[in-house]
Amino acid sequence: MEDYQECGVVGKGSYGTVMKCRHKKSGDYVAVKIMEDDGQNELIRKTAIREAKILKQLQHPNVVRLVHLFRTSARLCMVFEYMDRSIMQMLTQHPRGLAAAEVRRILWQMVLGLNFLHSQQIIHRDIKPENV
């Protein structure tokens, strides 16, 4: 993690914590999924490695891109492009709901991304507002 400056927690999930970070040399913001790897939980390690292998192969404008993968002594870290807006943020800013045209645009982008994943024989399994 020495190449990245931590900027804050984006979220926590069953497999780890996602941090917003800034690459020290380029200045680019990224999302780093940090999974503790103490060697005790083989399922977490296998799941993370499988996810990384799949994500490395995916290239689509509506699917978040895996930028880098690295391991420290006790962590497995997956570096993703940082998406600065989510549906949750948009709904927080517009508590009465979004305009119909905006909803259609978002749903169309989701359909395109999911269609691509399905064409690659991949099921997302974690679609929720925080991930859109």
Known binding residues for ATP:
33
- In the chain, the largest separation of any two C-alpha atoms, in whole Å, equals 48
Is residue 126 among the annotated active site residues? Answer: yes
Give per-residue burial for 71-99: e unless 16+ CB within 10 Å, then b: eeeebbbbbbebeeebbeebeeeeeeeee
Among residues 37, 38, 84, 126, the one annotated as catalytic is 126
Give the residue numbers of the binding site. 33
Catalytic residues: 126
